[in-house]
Structure 1
Amino acid sequence: MKLVNVAVIIACASLGACDMLSSKDLNKEKFEAYLTLKRIPLNDEARYERMKKEYNQRAALVSAIDSTKKLKPLTINAEVEQFRKQLVISRYFEQYLNDAVTDQGLQNFYNQNIENYKSRKIHAAHILFRVNPKMGEVERQALLTSAQDTYSKITSGNDFSKLAKSQSDDKVSGTKGGDLGWIKQGAVSAEFSQKVFNLKAGEVSAPFLTAYGYHIVKVIEEPQEITKSFESVKGDIRYQLRNQSKQAEMARLIKSAE
């Protein structure tokens, strides 16, 4: 049921009848509240008269439908009452949250929790020797030996980028000399992060194992700390604070009604 139709039914019920309302019978206060809901200026005479006519016609329509006895008044009233309750709850929290969660409040929360919006990133490359879960110990050991041989070549002066192109099982990064781009800490496995974020620029790690296989990692650029701007997280903060405020106020209201 559309809001306008429900509003008419509520209006009719509150007036005690749904007959055609004359200018004399029209409850001016309630009608003008309806115009305010529709965002129609009260000083716009043309629209005022047009809406009054529409308002009366809808009231008359409801009266005519009611006289057919095809609808059960108790069912309609129950539906209207449920709509009214939901509307009251919705309007209340809309106003309450607008007052409770302000732009200044969002900024204060951001400032007080700035560490939560900081992260580290690092520019790295790797050579991957992929491990298949079905591999036996002998195959795994052979793979590790290959990784160690490649590492020895790198420490002996061979070009990391060329070896990545020819040896890495990660063909996507391999075509770029193993370059993984900027990696955010925590976005990769814990083992990988722990190893790579403890290396310095230009440093190459010995082979180490993750769920993907054996990696040899080279740091291209050292870690940088990045802080998300307030504007980039403002929406998330607003959602979080509004949700927290709503739950707290709802609990308070329910407790006060007990």
Structure 2
Amino acid sequence: MEFYPMRRRILPIAVLATLLLLSAAGNLVTAFADSLANDKIADLKIPEVVARVNGVDLSSKFVKFEFARMTKNLKGDLDVKQKTQIVREIVNSEVVRELMYQEGLAQNKKAAPQKIDEEFEAMKSGYATEAEFQEALKERSITAAELKKSIEVELVARNLLDDQIKGSIDIPDAEVKLFYEDNKKDFFRPEAYRAQHIFASLYPMEAFDKYSQQELEAHREKYDKDAEKKINGILKEVQSGKDFGELARKYSDDAGSSSKGGDLDFIYKGVFDPAIDEAVSKLKPGEISGVVKTPYGYHIVKLNETRPAEFAPFNDVKEAIQEHLFMAKAKDKAQQYIAELRKKARIELFF
């Protein structure tokens, strides 16, 4: 457990319900966005119908999509035993999702057509054209109607779980305080610093869309010279006394911080490239570095504040502890609820 990051919030119930649902159930929507069908499990002889829940058949193609998503970044091959275990876990997840969908309908939970359309259009927006989107559907052997149906299942199941959790879990302050005292070692915060930076990327963002990695590497020297020239020009403006934050907004290639004037919030040593840590270690609050080179490009860093290693004060981590305890109780409650649904259901597994 780590509780020392500065920005922690209590999760909204709807978000929490989604996280719990996705941890217990497969997600065709995610699979559609992230994966293509592949032949990694062709040797498993998965039947067309992998399970039946209260008479409703669950198709194997959804299981294959989820398998592809889960394994697409794995290096090396999985053996048959490993593949079988993963597929069975996915089948179980699909069973849970269908169970919750059916129970949601029984309790008159519905997914608003407008919300279904919004989710559907959000997926389409990830493609340049309608034709490209339709081709993606074809590659996955999915129809638009099937995709919308999966969105409906997801929303209904999410709403059901939301209602099961909402207002049913109490986290007294005394429980939060006790957890803090019992686990104080987990609240140790390493030395940190708060800084702003201006970043000149080694490769311009548009180059990633135009060229392959091999082509980028072939022109690395040219891109490096361009980035160095850019950062040196910015440094001259910094040294002339211009506002650092405004220059970051105007020039920085770091999309995550440029709109905030380059503010990186508190950073723990070792999170960024060592060259950044080294440059910061030579600064006093308010001072600005020269040009700092990293494998990603060039930086100018302004140190605003330092914070020594310490145990985080209770008030700094109170919300994070509440979130942790709430999630643990909510997960238990969700699992108990799913177990109850299973007992009442007629479930047949074919893999």
Task: Report the TM-score, using the length of structure 1 for normalisation.
Answer: 0.42
The answer to which structure, 1 or 2, has the higher relative contact order (CA under 8 A, 6+ apart) is 2
The structure having more radius of gyration, on CA atoms, is: 1
TM, length-normalised to structure 2:
0.31
